[in-house]
Amino acid sequence: KEASCPLTLDGSLLLKSDPNLANNIETIIIPLKTLGVKYVPMWTNETVVSIKIGTREALANIYMGINHDVDPTGMTFDHIIGNVTQGLNGTVAVLVVDNDNGDDSLDFFEKGYLIIDLDPSQRAVPRDNVLIEIRPEKSAPLTIEFTVPEAIPKDAYVTVE
Instruction: Convert the pLDDT of each residue in 50-67 to its tens digit.
Output: 999 999 999 999 999 999
Q: How many CB atoms lie within 10 A of CB 159?
A: 10
- pLDDT recorded at residue 3: 66
Contact assessment for residue 143 and residue 135, using Cβ atoms and an 8 Å cutoff: no
The answer to pTM > 0.85 is: yes
- pLDDT recorded at residue 138: 83
- pLDDT recorded at residue 87: 87
- pLDDT recorded at residue 161: 79
- Which architecture characterizes domain 7-148 according to CATH? Sandwich (2.60)
d(CA 70, CA 96): 6
Residue ranges for the chain with pLDDT beneath 50: 1
- For the chain, the domains span 7-148
